[in-house]
Amino acid sequence: MSGELPSSGPNREVTATDGRLTDPGWLVHGDPELILAGLDGASGQEEMLAAAVYRTSGHVHRDAGAGTRRQVLALDAARHGNRKLATNIARVAVRQEMDDPWVVQWATGSDLDSRLRYALPVPAKVSALATMIVEDRGLAVAGCEDGTLHAWDLATGSRYGKSVSARTGAVSTLATAVLDGRPVAVTGGSDQTVRVWDLARGELLGTCSADDDSWVKLLAAGVVEGRPVVVGACVDDVVRVWDLATLSQHSEPLTLHTGFASTLATTVLDGRPVAVTSHSRELAATDLITGEETLRVWDLITGRELGALDDRPDEPPVFADPAYDRTLEGDGDGDGDARHCVTPDLNATAHFLATDPASECPMAVSANAYEVHVWNLATREQVGRPAAAMSVETAAVTVLHDRPAVLAASAHGPVEVWELPTLRQLRPSLTGHEAAVRGVAMAVVNGRHLAVTGGDDRSVRVWDLDGERETSSRLTGHADYVTGVTTAVVDGSCVVVTGGSDSRIRIWDLDGRGQRGEPLPGHTNSVDLLTAGTVDGRPTLLTRGDWHKTVRIWDLTTREELHGRSTSEYTSPSIEFFAAVDGRFVGVTGEGRVWDLTASRWIGVQPRQRGALALETLEGRSVILTSLKAEGVHLWDLATGELLAPPLTGHTSEVRAGATGTLDGRPVVVAGGDRTVWMWDASTGQRIGVYAFPSRIRGLTMAPDGRLVVGFGADIAVLAHRR
């Protein structure tokens, strides 16, 4: 993207904070919009840390009350390693919006990245993403699987315009443009209609379509002779170019007979707007995902092909911008000075094409399921050998401080920033998304190079690529998601044991001193089940790997593996979790049936509700927790099947984890769902407290001393009772 976003306008000015960023009361009670606008003005180590803490869950603070903000800010301060700030935030007085019996004792910060500026929640998975700059405003636009469109101001993170219900199905392809000075989004899908939307008003401006027996599978935007156009690759092997200004006149589009195109992008070549398409060399014989590909370049003015890449011309074109300097003011055409970032569209999983249509940077990047290719559009040849890369979903090409770069996102793991054409890492990986990233784009706003990403975790995230990776020392843990949490007593000390999708089993001291030794070896893939119990008087851990279903048993004192067996020999495949009953390990199914792993028989009485969450000992009795949709959490006696408490209600979505324990001599039940943890008195069913988290709850348990241990996102937190 060429040019920068000016900082004019009241909503885009850096608000003077006057040193208030170090005031916990202002962070809890201040207007989130004003605080977020002032974070760029942070100076000094304390203010920089406070700014990073606030940005970590800024999407929560915008719509939350002071009570929820206090909880999440204290948690994020602990995740950043600053317990003093966490304690000071927890002491801020708030109007009692909810019971709050906990304070954060410590937390890990595995998925923190101080370069994160905003996390912008959306109601469904992000399927397409684009950025643009119009007049004095940079925008990010996301299309979701529920058919909605959403836009945000990149300078402030605030919503722009009105959300759009673009179509009945998913927004499968998306492009942005400027029409008569207005930012617009263009969407397409299998209903044969391409729609143009006014992003400010949320209104439909016009439509166009392919032939009756065809539909648009890929979209890209461009400017041809000063007029905005949208380019669509159709399933009838034709690429069509529509003039957005004449849609209402139903003018005939320019047609390019390209043959089957698996991907599409636009750029500028030798001063002329072009479309770039990707094709399989042998369509009938080659797998489109893993097969060899050819890139072809098409003139958007004449409709003629300029020659397939790898067919090197005698005289390569001369570029007007050989230094790729895109930090200067742009000279875009048309009203609004529109400048667009590439938005690769997926025709098949892990198959994309990325160019930079905002400047004459002669680089293109393509990928299949296993390799990334770099192309030089000026010489029309592939650069170097393909680089191995697993499950790359999408990418964007840009220039980062005069160096060509690509932002690449995979189905699993962080977003990478690579130098072109070497594909060497140019910046540390961007970490924080909780699921696959489906769209990436780039922008330069107020002199800062920003990356925008969106994916299956229902969020759009904005990153400052010029920022520092770390802001402070902090506890770090799993490299990926925490999939299980349990507690035990080892050598007289309370510990928490965590399993993760990184295949590691870690043991932590509950006093916050960090991990106890190296992770336990053994599993080669995600650990999906784990529980601790006492067997023959010794603390023992039972774990199961997700892929090979191998069960392993460990002595937590000696850290020795006792034995391991395959699930087919040792358990039922319908088992949802393990537990310990009367010194014996058992498996519990989703229906709440309990299988004694030693005696190989069913025990106890099956509860009258599905959705088993936990099997634990409460006041000397073995009890089962269940929860099904919106029916609340139920507590059952394993021996008799008796319901021991009224339904425990409060969660508004699926409950994923539960536990029991004792607090101030009272039996209690805790359960986690919809990013909150609730606690009830098990005797009366009365709610005791609620704690809000910024990420999905993945597991929880109560320590023997009453502390609450919660796995959320890729991290864990320990909450102590507020005295």
**pLDDT single digits (tens) 65-96:** 999 999 999 999 999 989 899 999 999 999 86
DSSP reduced 3-state for 189 = coil
Closest CA to 546 of 455, 612, 480: 480
pTM of the entire predicted model:
0.80
Mean pLDDT for 323-332 is 30
| Residue 7, pLDDT score | 38
Highest mean pLDDT among 56-60, 192-196, 570-574: 56-60
Instruction: Return the C-alpha torsion angle 254, 255, 258, 261, nearest 10.
Output: 80
Q: Decide if pLDDT at 350 tops 50.
A: no
Domains of the chain: residue spans and CATH? 20-97 (no CATH), 116-464 (2.130.10.10), 482-655 (2.130.10.10)
Distances (CA, A) of 87 to 49, 58, 249, 627, 689: 15, 20, 64, 34, 19
SS3 call for 116: strand
> Given pLDDT bands bounded at 50, 70 and 90, which one contains residue 383?
confident
- Confidence (pLDDT) at 474: 62
So what's the pLDDT on residue 482? 77
Average pLDDT score over the chain? 81
- The percentage of residues in the chain with a pLDDT greater than 70, rounded to a whole number, is 82
d(CA 691, CA 306): 61
* pLDDT beyond 80 at 294: no
- Given pLDDT bands bounded at 50, 70 and 90, which one contains residue 438? confident
Instruction: Report whether pLDDT(289) > 50.
Output: no
What six digits make up the tokens of 166? 């673009």
Q: Is the pLDDT of residue 312 over 60?
A: no
Residue in 257, 262, 219, 221 with CA at minimum distance from that of residue 239: 257
Going by pLDDT thresholds of 50, 70 and 90, the confidence category of residue 571 is low
pLDDT(110) > 50: yes
Tell me what pLDDT residue 634 has.
Answer: 96
Angle at 598 (CA atoms; ends 534, 492), nearest 5 degrees:
5
Q: Which of 157-161, 359-363, 436-440 has the lowest mean pLDDT?
A: 359-363
pLDDT digit string, tens, across residues 8-54: 333 444 455 677 899 999 999 999 988 998 888 888 889 989 999 99
The two tokens of residue 679 are 């606690």
Tokens of 131: 């950025």
pLDDT the model gives residue 708: 94
Angle of the 83-90 helix axis to the 44-56 helix axis, nearest 10: 60
Q: Is the pLDDT of residue 538 over 70?
A: yes
List the one residue out of 688, 713, 685, 714 whose CA is nearest residue 702. 688
- For residues 117-143, give the mean pLDDT: 88
Whole-angstrom Cα distance, residue 667 to residue 662? Answer: 5
- Does residue 543 sit in helix, strand or coil? strand
Residue 583 pLDDT greater than 90, yes or no: no
**What's the pLDDT tens digit per position in 391-408?**
777 888 888 888 888 888
Q: How far is CA 303 from CA 240, 254, 616, in A?
A: 10, 7, 70
